[in-house]
């Protein structure tokens, strides 16, 4: 299930070279501290609009790791 989630996320619109992982499911999990839609932390969500492409790619790498580590 992780790769299906990632495929859905990586299909997001590209505004500035690196697509946003936002899926418009903005709900924070109390258990994980991550958004249930995009798997980002609040800090990552806040930083996204001002982050450069390298920082955005780093966030994407963290998202991929989180999806791969989550139980199916």
Residue 9: pLDDT above 70? no
Q: What pTM value is reported for the model?
A: 0.76
Which three-class secondary structure state does DSSP give residue 70?
A: coil
47-68: per-residue pLDDT in tens?
999 999 999 999 999 999 999 9
Check if the beta carbon of residue 8 is closer than 8 Å to that of residue 1.
Answer: no
Please, what is the average pLDDT of the chain?
A: 85
- Dihedral sign for Cα 13, 1, 24, 32, please: negative
Side-chain half-sphere of 14: how many Cα atoms within 13 Å?
8
């Amino acid at each position: 299930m992780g790769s299906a989630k990632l495929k859905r996320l990586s299909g997001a619109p590209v505004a500035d070279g690196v697509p946003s992982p936002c899926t418009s499911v903005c709900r924070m999990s109390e258990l994980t501290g991550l958004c249930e839609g995009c798997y980002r932390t609040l800090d990552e969500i806040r930083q996204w609009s001002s982050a450069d492409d390298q920082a955005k790619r780093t966030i994407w790498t963290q998202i991929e790791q989180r999806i791969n580590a989550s139980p199916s």
